């Protein structure tokens, strides 16, 4: 089981070694005054070279995996308490690089507007003000994360190059962590499960109204969701700055985000947001700035460990090796762009075919029930158990709980059950919306068709299930 306890908080002036980096570590590009102007996620070491993934402008204008290079000021490095979440967020951004999620100049301009506003531009308190601003809009625009999580490999529908919405650096970091957290909580249904190629709230009002009638009364979309639908397609989505592309987006007649939520497990979306306080980065991703994220990490040491400063030494290559490396890199970039174009084309063609039959959406859309049978792969099972266990341990640590007991019971046909008890820990009041008993089922058809980002899961399925008893055991704090 991955540990989430941080024994000591590293002083930010200490020196951190590059070989100590782990996938999922967040690196901040620093300025002289202590603010940050760029952020990336560490994605591993290959052929003795360290790589980061981030949304970049020139020359690529996309989410891209690049070599970790020396900077004028040392990097600041933070590590999430949930190592599994960090690794999955890094893998998610690597997948976005493979799909060439565009860099958004428009949202970068919004970021510059935020940095110039009264209060948020203060050299000492600006980071705190920017952080509070991004948190303020988190719940109002949470539905965007639900839609992203239903098709996590490509957040925005790949229209023509001019119309495809993209991200800037800190937006990508915030989105990756929130999407992966929803997936690890199994709070969102996939497009495959919904029998659709996409989920989007850019839906025409004439189609949306009859669709929403199919949702049971107890789960009817709130006024917050209806307001989100209105503002998300407005150039003036926020009272500051402008996002003209919001109004330029064509209607995407797919199922809206509320159809992808697991009401059977978490109830109404708005109630979930009121109660669950376990998000590692509760930001509206469009308003997340590098300095805002840095400040939030500093203020939440129970979730983010400050690993200190990192100085990257330059690498000297012989001239002939340098030229060879340049050729290899250019070949890699060319193939990456070509493969990404094919991936986007495939999504675009499937989407167009789906929208051509938009009138059938009402009959094809799945009914929403309060109780649904869940079928998950063994890999999903391990991921969920690990994440829930880590969250319980983290919350117990900070509420002085005496004991939490985990019991994992392997059963036949890949079934397993997790139950827990925490008599001194008021879980619901602490915002942890978990049932006291979780049962997961695994079947071969589901596993064969489950698409996950590159990880290194155990290869022996039988060993995975049997190892649950040793990985999830009694824990005394």
DSSP 387-410: HHHHHHHHHHHHHT-SEEEEEEEE
Give the pLDDT band of residue 361 (cuts 50, 70, 90).
low
Q: Which residue, 272, 289, 310, sits at the end of a domain?
A: 310
> Considering the domain boundaries, does residue 324 fall inside one?
no
Residues near 152 by Cβ (< 8 Å), separated by ≥ 6? 92, 95, 179, 180, 183
Residue 126 contacts residue 145 (beta carbons within 8 Å): no
Structure tokens at 426: 């008021």
Share of the chain above pLDDT 70, in %: 69
> Considering the domain boundaries, does residue 365 fall inside one?
no
Same domain, 154 and 241: yes
Same domain, 306 and 409: no
> Considering the domain boundaries, does residue 58 fall inside one?
yes
Share of the chain above pLDDT 90, in %: 49
> Considering the domain boundaries, does residue 369 fall inside one?
no
Q: 317 vs 168, which has greater pLDDT? A: 168
Same domain, 137 and 36: yes
Measure the CA–CA gap between 139 and 135, rounded to whole angstroms: 8
Measure the CA–CA gap between 75 and 411, rounded to whole angstroms: 47
Give the pLDDT band of residue 312 (cuts 50, 70, 90).
very high
Average pLDDT rounded to a whole number, residues 18-27: 96
Residue 178 contacts residue 279 (beta carbons within 8 Å): yes
Same domain, 303 and 415: no
Q: Which residue, 293, 310, 327, sits at the end of a domain?
A: 310
Q: Which residue, 263, 279, 310, sits at the end of a domain?
A: 310
Same domain, 166 and 296: yes
> Considering the domain boundaries, does residue 333 fall inside one?
no
pLDDT of residue 222: 85
Q: How many domains does the chain have?
A: 2
Beta pairing class for 49-56 and 36-46:
antiparallel
Cα of 439 vs its chain's centroid, Å: 25
Question: Domain span at residue 463?
Answer: 378-476
Same domain, 301 and 398: no
Q: Give burial (CB, 10 Å; 0-12/13-18/19+) of 134.
A: buried
Same domain, 122 and 235: yes
> Considering the domain boundaries, does residue 351 fall inside one?
no
Q: 118 vs 147, which has greater pLDDT? A: 147
Maximum C-alpha span of the chain = 69
């Amino acid at each position: 089981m991955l540990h989430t306890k941080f024994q000591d908080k590293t002083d930010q002036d200490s020196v951190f070694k590059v070989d100590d980096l782990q996938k999922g570590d967040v690196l901040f590009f620093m300025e002289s005054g202590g603010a940050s102007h760029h952020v990336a996620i560490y994605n591993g070491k290959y052929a003795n070279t360290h790589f980061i993934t981030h949304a970049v402008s020139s020359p690529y204008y996309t989410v891209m995996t690049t070599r970790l290079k020396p900077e004028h000021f040392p990097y600041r490095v933070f590590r999430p308490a949930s190592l599994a979440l960090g690794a999955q967020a890094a893998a998610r951004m690597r997948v976005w690089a493979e799909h060439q999620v565009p860099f958004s100049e428009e949202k970068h301009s919004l970021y510059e507007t935020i940095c110039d506003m009264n209060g948020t531009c203060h050299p000492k308190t600006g980071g705190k003000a920017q952080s509070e601003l991004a948190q303020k809009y988190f719940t109002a625009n949470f539905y965007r994360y639900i839609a992203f999580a239903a098709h996590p490999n490509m957040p925005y529908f790949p229209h023509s190059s001019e119309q495809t919405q993209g991200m800037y650096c800190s937006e990508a970091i915030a989105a990756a962590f929130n999407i992966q957290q929803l997936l690890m909580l199994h709070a969102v249904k996939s497009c495959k499960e919904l029998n659709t190629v996409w989920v989007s709230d850019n839906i025409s009002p004439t189609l949306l109204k009859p669709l929403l009638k199919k949702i049971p009364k107890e789960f009817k979309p709130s006024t917050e969701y209806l307001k989100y639908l209105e503002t998300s397609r407005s150039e003036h989505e926020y009272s500051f700055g402008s996002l003209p592309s919001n109004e330029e987006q064509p209607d995407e007649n797919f199922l809206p985000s509320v159809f992808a939520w697991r009401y059977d497990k978490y109830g109404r979306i708005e109630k979930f947001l009121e109660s669950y306080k376990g998000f590692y980065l509760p930001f509206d991703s469009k308003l997340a700035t590098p300095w805002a994220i840095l400040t939030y990490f500093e203020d939440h040491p129970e979730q983010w460990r400050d690993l200190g400063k990192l100085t990257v030494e330059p690498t000297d290559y012989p001239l002939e090796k340098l030229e060879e490396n340049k050729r290899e890199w250019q070949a890699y970039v060319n193939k990456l762009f070509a493969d990404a174009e094919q991936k986007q084309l495939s999504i675009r063609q499937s989407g167009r075919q789906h929208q051509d039959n938009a009138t059938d959406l009402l009959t094809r859309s799945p009914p929403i029930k309060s109780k649904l049978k869940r079928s998950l792969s063994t890999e999903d099972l391990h991921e969920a158990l690990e994440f829930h266990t880590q969250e319980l341990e983290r919350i117990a640590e900070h509420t002085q709980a005496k004991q939490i007991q985990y019991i994992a019971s392997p059963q036949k046909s890949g079934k397993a059950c997790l139950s827990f008890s925490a008599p001194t820990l008021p879980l619901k009041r602490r915002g942890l919306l978990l049932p006291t008993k979780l049962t997961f089922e695994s079947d071969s058809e589901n596993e064969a068709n489950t698409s996950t980002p590159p990880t290194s899961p155990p290869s022996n399925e039988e060993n995975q299930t049997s190892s649950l008893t040793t990985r999830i055991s009694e824990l005394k704090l």
